[in-house]
Amino acid sequence: MDNTFNEDEKLYRAVYPPSKSNMYWKTDGSLSSAAFADKKGLSVERGNNRQSSEVVEAMKETFTGCIVSVKVKDCNETNAVVKYCPSKRSKYHSEIHSSSDVILLNKSQRLYLARKAVKEYMEP
């Protein structure tokens, strides 16, 4: 694996469920842009040709809550930069940054990704 991402590759993000933190969810059940704000770099797991069910099951071993996904092309459409950043926990760990030199996604990028996000798993 390297820093090359396919436009259709999914990027998965764990998000606290509404029962634990309602700041990440709107009253209509859709995702809030707050789910895409992290000044240290927005952590995601890259799909890397794995089935969504495989990624979700692997993430559920480490994370509690909900799992949403966006595609690399969604990031590209809003000029966000996807970086491959493997960690001790996961060789699939990556981050989404606002640009090559700004980490925190700007408000319009966060709003766009929140609208594009797909709910892959919702904690019961």
* Residues pairing with 42 in the sheet: 96
Predicted local distance difference test score (pLDDT) of residue 100: 95
pTM score of the predicted model: 0.95
**What is the dihedral sign for C-alpha 76, 3, 51, 106?**
negative
Regions of the chain with pLDDT less than 50: none
Residue 124, pLDDT score: 74
**DSSP code at position 8:** T
Residue 42: strand, helix, or coil = strand
Q: How many Cβ atoms from other residues are within 10 Å of residue 117's Cβ?
A: 21
